[in-house]
Amino acid sequence: MSENLATIREQVYRDPRPAEHFRRFHERSRNREPDWVYEVVRVLTSLYAWTFFRLRAISAENVPAAGPVIIAPNHFSFLDHFFVGASIRRRVRFMAKSQLFTPPMQWVYTHGGVFPVRRGAKDEEAFVTAHSILARGRAMVMYCEGGRSRSAKLADSARPGIGRLALESGATVVPVAIHGSSHVRNWRRLQFPKVTVLFGDPMRWDRIEDPTREQQQEVANDIFAQIRGLYASLDAHGRAGARALRRAKRKTAPAPQG
């Protein structure tokens, strides 16, 4: 690991607690919307992100203003949730690893629109909750890589879960590159990286009730390929260059028909 990165604790992938332990969190997410806690957390984390990490969003208008949408970013930091939430006007729901659901923070998570997923456990409850959120026309975040990268580099491949959700729901998917968050932990050394969130063009697939594993993986790979391209653009051209490229692309795009 690079000496420029702060030490990251070894993560525990599987949660030993049974599925029944998380049932109440799923029930709340399926039947209630985020409340005032979401807005308080968004204001506080947005001020933190804008001030210390100089957070800026590019092409946030690519996120539809209404209707079901899956926002699909890469994942380096725990703060990635908040970087996305601070970048768009819509409230977004988050799927987060179940290990985070411990007192007292589980109260903040559930009231703030977060629901658990038990990684490595074929957690069908998480998919049921995700579908209920999308069926109500809401926006949610799901990471292609399935978890945080520990190497400060994009993962080698995507997990099929996001492909499954995209195909089963028929929801719009917006690929997103979060650049700079791999060094967020360096705040402990009083080093605050500049973080940029670049939203790609919306994607959508015809709805399939029971997609095969191969179909799920193919869609996940397509989404992740877009994320890789967005991230490479930020890597090569920086924030200003990536913004200029997106602006030029909009100008040359064909006008909508009808």
The residue with greater pLDDT, 65 or 119, is 65
Distance CA 73, CA 89 (A): 17
Beta-bridged to residue 72, according to DSSP, are 175
**Residue located via tokens 């100089």:** 54
Angle between helices 124-135 and 23-31 (to 10 degrees): 10
Mean pLDDT, to the nearest integer, of 83-87? 96
Q: Across all residues in the chain, what is the average pLDDT?
A: 90
Distance CA 79, CA 57 (A): 15
* pTM (two decimals): 0.89
Domain limits of the chain?
19-252
pLDDT band at 201 (very low <50, low <70, confident <90, very high): very high
Chain-centre distance for alpha carbon 15: 21
